[in-house]
Amino acid sequence: MSSLAAALPPDLEAVCRLAGAVPGSSPYVDALSAAALKRALETAHAHNILGVVLPAIRSADRELLARLRERLGRTESLLAAQALLRESELQAVLQVLDAADVEAAVLKGAFLASCVYGDFAARPMNDFDLLVRHEDLEGAAAALHRAGYRCKEGGPGQVPPGGSLEFRSPAGQAIELRYDLTQGTRLRGVVHFPEAEMWQRRRTFHTLAGGTLCSLDPTDHLLYLVYHAGILHLFAALVWLVDADRFIRKFQGEVEWEDLPARARKIGCATCLWHGLALSKHLLGTPVEDGALRALEPGALRAGLVRRWLAPRRVLRGLTPPKQPRMQALQMLLLDTTGAVLRSLWQGLFPPRQWLQWRYRTSNPVTLRLLRTLYPFGGWSRPPM
């Protein structure tokens, strides 16, 4: 464990050590007092990795307080029940899309739970992220609608400018149906994911439960995982870094490390990828190749700003990232160029017409011009687009 982890508050340092522990090793757990272990568990819960650290604690050769053992047992039972529900919900939505001849690539949490962690209890999630081709979005939305899924915003026949439609299953499970990986109008034209090329490189993976599913190839998926964790969440929760760690340990030999920097720079997320992989390596011991980190590292000024303002002690706040406008200011540090920062700032202040039409449900040109003019005075208080 590096000095970067040692500089964290004791509870975060303990969680990093537990999350990066080799299964079956327990010396560090044995050295923790019951009070320190309780604080570590609370911190792990705040960072959504309780399911990851529980096995490390269970493997320890020590006697926990009876009350703590009882609470752990109840927590594990709850996680197991939620896992069974989510696993069946994922299979159900994939069957609906398959019946409509829509190919869906499973992304992020659902893929990680199925193919990396091997247990939905180890990787809780709020929604399923499914990537479909742009031309298949309307058909996919219509198929889900017919199967009883309800769209949160918009619906069949309406293509959102933000790149996704959110559905709810009859049981209440959220499904994010996505055709664009940029995630947000503010970054449109700033970050360019080549979805067509990524579809060509897609692969079929075997799940640890014995099934199969479609997803991005490991190099593309790693890029997207770290980009999403950084640009949308500023690596504020350890779950994002643990995801990268477990993904790399699983697919280390299949990630094209020599090609990774070139793909990241083409997309516009090299700085974000560099910082995310460096954090994972230093905090969790992730086996990231040093050559890849050197190739991804930005210029001295940007690297220094990122290290200062996005240091672990500043950003590791759990599932609650900083508020606006600080959030957007820090996000812009993770962009690759000054031009990208300026374009992102402009689009954040003056959103495109298409997004305003979608957001405010109006096509009146006078209203849209007024909204675009006034948006800078209130836009910072809204969530990122």
Model confidence at 96: pLDDT above 80: yes
Instruction: Grade residue 68 by pLDDT with cuts at 50, 70 and 90.
Output: low
Model confidence at 295: pLDDT above 80: yes
* Three-class DSSP category at 260: helix
The backbone region for 308, taken as left when phi is positive above 0, alpha when psi lies in -120 to 50, beta otherwise, is: alpha
Model confidence at 166: pLDDT above 50: yes
- Position 242: which residue type? V
Position 2 scores a pLDDT of 56
Annotation: CATH topology of 86-215 = Beta Polymerase; domain 2 (3.30.460)
* Residue 213 near residue 111 (C-beta atoms within 8 A): yes
Give the whole-angstrom CA distance, residue 44 versus residue 239.
Answer: 9
- Position 134: which residue type? H
**What is the bridge-based pairing of β-strands 127-131 and 174-178?**
parallel
Give the whole-angstrom CA distance, residue 366 versus residue 72.
Answer: 59
Closest residue by Cα to residue 21 from 209, 256, 283, 229: 283
Model confidence at 291: pLDDT above 90: yes
Domain ranges, ordered by start, for the chain: 1-64, 86-215, 217-340, 350-385
Enter the pTM of the model: 0.88
* Three-class DSSP category at 82: helix
Query: How many other CB atoms are there within 10 angstroms of residue 380's CB atom?
Result: 16
Query: How many other CB atoms are there within 10 angstroms of residue 108's CB atom?
Result: 24
